[in-house]
Amino acid sequence: MRAVRIYHYGGPDVLRYEDDVPEPAIRPDAVLIAAVATSVNPIDWKVRSGARQKDFPLTMPAILGRDVSGVVTAVGSEVRSFRPGDRVIALADATYAQVVAVPAALVAHLPDGVDPIDAAAIPLVSLTGDQLVRVATQAAAGQTIFVSGALGSVGRAAVHSAKKLGATVIVGVRARQLDDARRLGAYAAVALDDEDALARLEAVDGVADTVGGEVAARLLGKVRAGGRFGYASVLPEGAARAASVEVSRVFARPDASKLREFADDIRDGTFVLPISRRMPLRDAGAAHALLEKGGGGKIVLTL
C-alpha cells in the first residue's frame, strides 16, 4: 500500500512517500478502512521532530497521523456494527496510509451530506476541543467559559461544544481577528495581544486554552476560585497555579459518538471547520513545512 513513513526524527524532509508498505493486519474487533483522506495536525510535526518523544514514542519506521476518513473494506470476526462499503471517520493511529486498521469501537459512520475528504479534518481537533470544555472545564449552563485561540480548529470545536452545553462563551484571539471572532456567536471577544483588554477581563468559571505559553499563564489568573483550567498546548515553567483552581492537560481520547455528533453538526451547518488546503499524501512533507510556519489553517491530505 501507499504510505508516508519516517525512519528517524527530523525536519519535514524525513517524511518518505512509499508505495510498497505492508498493509496492517485486521484484528477480530477491528475494521480495515480504505482511506480517502487524512489531515495534518500540529502534534504530527512535533512527534516527527522528536520534540514529543516522551509523550509519544515511536518505533521506527513509523507512520504518523491521527485522522482518517474512508470506506470500510473488511471487518473483524467480532464486528457487527460495520460492513464493507460503509463510509466512516475515526481518531486512530498511523493514518498517513492507504489502509488503516482501527478498533471498531473508535469508528463513526459518516452521515450523508458531509464531504468525505473534508471529513478527515474532524476527529482530532473536534475531540480535543470538546474534551477541553466538557471534561477539563466541565462547562455547564450558567457558567462563563473563556476559549483562547478560538479561530483555530480546536478553538472552534471548543466554542461549539461550550455553546451546546449552554455556557456563556467569551473568546480570545489576536486583535486583528476580533471581527472574525465575533461571527462565532460568542458573548464577547477579547484581544489576547492587548494587555489592557486582558487586564479588564473579569473572572470566569473555566478556561479552555489552545494557545499555551505566556497567554495561558496570564489566563490562569482569570479563573475564579473553584474553577477549572484546561489546556491542550504547553504551560510555561513556573506558571502560577492557584490551589483553588483545577488545572488539567487534555490529550484527545477517541469518542465515536461525539465524532458522529460533530459530523452531523457539519452536515446541518451548525458547525463549520474551515479547510485551508487539500494536498496529495505524497506532499506530506510540504504540508508539515506549511503547518510549522503557523497560521496556515487546516490541511487535508488526500489519497
What tens digit of pLDDT does each residue of 54-78 get?
Answer: 888 899 999 999 999 999 999 999 9
Q: Where are the alpha helices (DSSP H) in 149-222?
A: 153-164, 178-182, 195-200, 213-220
Please, are residues 116 and 110 in contact by the beta-carbon 8 Å criterion? yes
pLDDT band at 53 (very low <50, low <70, confident <90, very high): confident
| DSSP one-letter code for 111 | P
Please, are residues 92 and 72 in contact by the beta-carbon 8 Å criterion? no
Give this prediction's pTM: 0.94
Beta bridge partners of 18: 3
Phi, psi at residue 73, to the nearest 5°?
-110, -20
pLDDT band at 51 (very low <50, low <70, confident <90, very high): confident
User: How would you label 231-270 residue by residue, b for 16+ Cβ within 10 Å and e otherwise?
Assistant: bbbebeeebeeeeebbbeebebebbbebbbbbbbbbbeee
Give CA separation, 272 vs 155, 157, 169, 267, 275, in Å. 12, 9, 17, 9, 9
Q: Evaluate if residue 294 carries a pLDDT over 80.
A: no
Give per-residue pLDDT as tens, 208-237. Answer: 999 988 888 889 889 999 999 999 887 766
In whole angstroms, what is the distance from residue 206 CA to residue 11 CA? 36
Which one-letter amino acid corresponds to residue 102? V
Q: What is the mean pLDDT of residues 271-299?
A: 91
Residue 287, CA atoms < 13 Å, CB-side half-sphere? 29
- Domains annotated on the chain, with CATH: 3-110+273-302 (3.90.180.10), 126-249 (3.40.50.720)
Dihedral angle at the C-alpha atoms of 10, 3, 285, 158, nearest 10 degrees?
-90
Neighbours of 54 (CB within 10 A): 7
